[in-house]
């Protein structure tokens, strides 16, 4: 399949860009500590080498009123110039352009320094729903100082050799707070009429234009819809963008959705897989038709054919990809050279990308743990000095990644899987409502296994004897896990969550789910049974359902369950069940929680490792023995794939 629109050059403000694929702005948690800038440079360099036309850096704070260098990059002083130059040079080596993003969040943040909350600033004293912040209204002196800071930050980016700058209006951040009449209640020259509410933006962009001159591109990012009860509507956003474009202040408009100021709006900052791909196309197309400058569009675009359609349909002139290029740095090159089927498509699980970011960890990908570790795991596997005969037992994510990586390193690899299909627990996850896309991890890893030349044996369980007959130099045990079923007081009809997902359990009409894991299992089974007509009560042994999921995914999912009438209860430790009653204990005060009129108890009580094969081989003294993934310790697909990579690479050490 060819993508004629995606790979046509385009001009932004007189600057030619080789194609329409943009590595969009996003936080990485890199470059903040001494010695880590090289990691951030390698991260961006991998995407430039992979063929993107443009990279837009993550947000750089411009003013000391939002000073969080532990969490975000800053362009407050000239110390930022050398680091920015390193990034720009890395992009330019491969013909990519690089823009820098200028940022101030206003009230839409809970800013801390050494654990203590700092003052938040905004146009007016209007509370933020998501961060529970009541900001202080900005003085005229502070407004003037921040306007100047935008210009100073832009100058530093230009001096560092960046090709342009992007002004962040999107997602309910400070400039959006000025133009929104519900968050700007000022009665001075910066509030009231539309002209007054636009003054901060006009002055900031004017300072930026003056600082960078005519030889640098200036753009803006805006939420076409903040998707929040108090946020900017599509009509309001179009009016803002049109005004700035008509005044010649911006050379392009970068379109996104959502708001960082509300729980519902924040879901759209990094929309999970239940959100339709390229879902902002219609609204973005309406905005584009109002403007006289090119536009970019981001938001759940993870396949080249979807990106091509965005441009062909007139929704945008360029596409901003973030997770798609986190999952596969070579997305653009593969699409351009007829290898689109080899693209490792993002599955929008949000676990290691924005999930890591919210933990303060470096952004990565559960399918491609090389992301964020580019210097540790170079894009080309170094061939092993000695080709080993390697057997991998288990064809889940851990085993597939280990087998593919070992084969890429030049080893002779056999993968043995007891089931007739590869995939492990990922095969269960993809069977839940709205989660079919999770099966992409199986598709992508299976393709890597095939392309690497691994010999795959399915439908046969590996045994100590069969492995002994193969006489391997190394054995990697990735035999996964099985449901953990605790001993309970009493007696009632209980089934494990896996059997429910597979459709093997006899489930009554009134169900209680005892959810110890507090992850996708309990939420997914609750949705599945509710959609099947069951009355569902979800009792979780945590502080909230989905406690261990990334917040945007969890918040969206809980909204779905609430809409389906699922009853939820937190702090509930399963104690026992008898007759038609299930007994829980409150996790903190120890009081009993009794649930009556129950037909079926569904147990989502975690997993226990399946490690018998490893124990047998260890007892026999098998050389080169390793154990990874859930067989080592039940966790998630992320740890499984990472350990598969690490173990396989270590074989060549």
What's the pLDDT at 216? 97
The per-residue pLDDT for 70 is 61
CATH of 389-483+609-650, one of 3.60.15.10, 3.20.20.150, 3.40.50.720, 3.40.50.300: 3.40.50.720
Span 79-105, pLDDT tens digits: 999 999 999 999 999 999 999 999 999
Only one residue has tokens 């093997």, namely 504
CA distances from 75 to 16, 24, 81, 149 (A): 26, 19, 8, 9
Q: Could you give the C-alpha distances from 330 to 44, 325, 326, 380, in angstroms and in order?
A: 12, 7, 10, 12
pLDDT for residue 66: 87
| Length of the chain (residues) | 653
Return the CATH fold of 10-359.
Answer: TIM Barrel (3.20.20)
**H-state helical runs in 478-626:** 497-501, 520-531, 551-563, 612-620
- pTM over 0.95? The answer is yes
Residue 496 has a pLDDT of: 96
DSSP 240: H
What does each C-alpha distance from 319 to 128, 181, 368, 603 come to in angstroms? 30, 30, 22, 43
State the span(s) of the chain assigned CATH 3.20.20.70.
10-359
- In this prediction, residue 609 carries a pLDDT of 97
pLDDT of 143:
98
Q: Which residues of 263-294 are buried (b: 16+ CB within 10 A; e: fewer)?
A: bbbbbbbbbbbbbebbebbebbbebbeebebb
517 burial class (0-12, 13-18, 19+ CB within 10 angstroms)?
A: buried
Q: What's the helix, strand, coil split of the chain in %, to 5? A: 35, 20, 45
pLDDT at position 132:
94
What is the mean pLDDT for each group of 10 consecutive residues in the chain (653 residues)? 93 98 96 85 98 97 82 89 97 98 92 84 96 96 98 98 98 98 98 98 98 96 95 97 97 98 96 96 97 97 98 98 98 97 97 96 97 93 88 98 97 98 96 96 98 98 97 98 90 91 96 97 98 98 98 97 98 95 97 97 97 98 98 98 98 86
Q: Between β-strands 21-23 and 116-117, what pairing exists: parallel, antiparallel or unpaired?
A: unpaired
In the chain, ranges of CATH 3.50.50.60 domains: 494-605
Q: In this predicted structure, what is the pLDDT of residue 1?
A: 66
Query: For the chain, where do the domains classified as CATH 3.40.50.720 start and end?
Result: 389-483+609-650
Q: What is the mean pLDDT of the chain?
A: 96
Other Cβ atoms closer than 10 A to 642: 22
**H/E element, 574:** strand 572-578
The torsion angles phi and psi of 147, rounded to 5 degrees, stand at -55, -45
Q: What is the pLDDT of residues 31-90, one digit of tens each?
A: 877 778 999 999 999 999 999 999 999 999 999 998 766 668 999 999 999 999 999 999
Write down the pLDDT at residue 69: 61
Q: Which long-range contacts (CB under 8 A, 24 or more apart) does 262-265 make?
A: 262/129, 262/130, 262/172, 262/228, 262/229, 262/230, 262/231, 263/129, 263/130, 263/555, 264/227, 264/228, 264/229, 264/555, 264/559, 265/130, 265/171, 265/172, 265/226, 265/227, 265/228, 265/231
CATH superfamily label, 494-605: FAD/NAD(P)-binding domain (3.50.50.60)
Best CA proximity match to 315, nearest among 253, 247, 243? 253
Per the CB < 8 A criterion, the answer to whether 150 and 102 are in contact is yes
* Sign of the dihedral through C-alpha 344, 326, 22, 55: negative
């Amino acid at each position: 399949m060819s993508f004629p629109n995606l790979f046509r050059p385009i001009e932004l403000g007189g600057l030619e860009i080789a194609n329409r694929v943009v590595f969009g702005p996003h936080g990485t948690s890199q470059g903040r500590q001494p010695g880590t800038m090289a990691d951030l440079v390698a991260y961006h360099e991998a995407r430039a080498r992979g063929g993107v036309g443009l990279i837009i850096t993550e947000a750089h704070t411009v003013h000391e009123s939002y000073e969080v260098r532990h969490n975000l990059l800053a362009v407050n002083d000239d110390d930022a110039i050398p680091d920015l130059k390193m990034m720009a040079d890395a992009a330019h080596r491969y013909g990519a352009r690089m823009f820098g993003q200028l940022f101030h969040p206003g009230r839409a943040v809970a800013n801390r320094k050494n654990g203590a909350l700092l003052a938040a600033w905004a146009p007016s004293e209007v509370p933020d729903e998501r961060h529970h912040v009541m900001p202080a209204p900005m003085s005229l002196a502070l407004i003037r100082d921040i306007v100047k800071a935008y210009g100073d930050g832009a100058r530093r980016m230009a001096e560092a050799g960046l090709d342009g700058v992007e002004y962040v209006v999107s997602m309910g951040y400070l400039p959006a707070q000025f133009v929104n009449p519900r968050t700007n209640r000022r009665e001075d020259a910066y509030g009231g009429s539309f002209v007054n509410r636009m003054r901060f933006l006009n002055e900031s962009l004017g300072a930026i234009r003056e600082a960078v001159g005519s030889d640098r591109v200036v753009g803006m990012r805006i939420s076409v819809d903040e998707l929040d009860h108090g946020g900017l509507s599509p009509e309001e956003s179009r009016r803002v963008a049109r005004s700035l474009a008509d005044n010649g202040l911006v050379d392009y408009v970068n379109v996104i959705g959502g708001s960082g100021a509300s729980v519902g709006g924040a879901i759209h900052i990094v929309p999970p897989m239940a959100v339709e791909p390229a879902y902002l196309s219609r609204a973005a197309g309406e905005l584009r038709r109002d403007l006289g400058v090119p536009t970019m569009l981001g938001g759940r675009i993870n396949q080249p054919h979807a990106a091509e359609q965005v441009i062909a349909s007139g929704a945008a002139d360029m596409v901003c990809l973030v997770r798609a290029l986190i999952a596969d740095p070579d997305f653009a090159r593969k699409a351009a050279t007829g290898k689109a089927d080899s693209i490792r498509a993002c599955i929008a699980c949000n676990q290691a990308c924005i999930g890591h970011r919210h933990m303060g960890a470096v952004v990565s990908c559960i399918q491609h743990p090389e992301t964020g570790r580019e210097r540790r795991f170079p894009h080309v596997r170094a061939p092993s000095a000695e080709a080993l005969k390697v057997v991998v037992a288990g064809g889940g994510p851990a085993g597939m990644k280990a087998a593919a990586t070992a084969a890429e390193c030049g080893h002779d690899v056999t993968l043995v899987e007891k089931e007739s299909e590869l995939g492990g627990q990922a095969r269960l996850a993809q069977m839940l409502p709205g989660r079919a896309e999770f099966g992409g991890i199986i598709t992508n890893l299976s393709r890597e296994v095939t392309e690497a030349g691994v010999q795959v044996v399915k439908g046969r369980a590996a045994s100590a004897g069969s492995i002994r007959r193969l006489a391997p130099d190394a054995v990697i045990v990735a035999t996964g896990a099985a449901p953990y079923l605790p001993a309970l007081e009493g007696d009632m009809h209980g089934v494990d969550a896996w059997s429910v997902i597979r459709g093997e359990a006899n489930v009554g009409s009134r169900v209680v789910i005892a959810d110890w894991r507090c992850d996708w299992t309990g939420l997914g089974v609750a949705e599945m049974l509710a959609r099947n007509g069951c009355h569902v009560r979800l009792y979780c042994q945590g502080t909230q359902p989905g406690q261990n999921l990334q917040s945007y995914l969890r918040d969206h999912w809980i909204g779905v369950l609430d809409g389906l009438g699922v009853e939820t209860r937190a702090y509930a430790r399963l104690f026992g069940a008898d007759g038609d009653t299930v007994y829980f204990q409150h996790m903190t005060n120890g009081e009993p929680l009794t649930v009556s009129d129950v037909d079926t108890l569904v147990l989502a009580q975690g997993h226990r490792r399946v490690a018998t094969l490893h124990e047998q081989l260890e007892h026999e003294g098998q050389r080169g023995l390793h154990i990874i993934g859930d067989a080592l310790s039940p966790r998630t697909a992320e740890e499984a794939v990472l350990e598969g990579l690490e173990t396989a690479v270590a074989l060549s050490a």
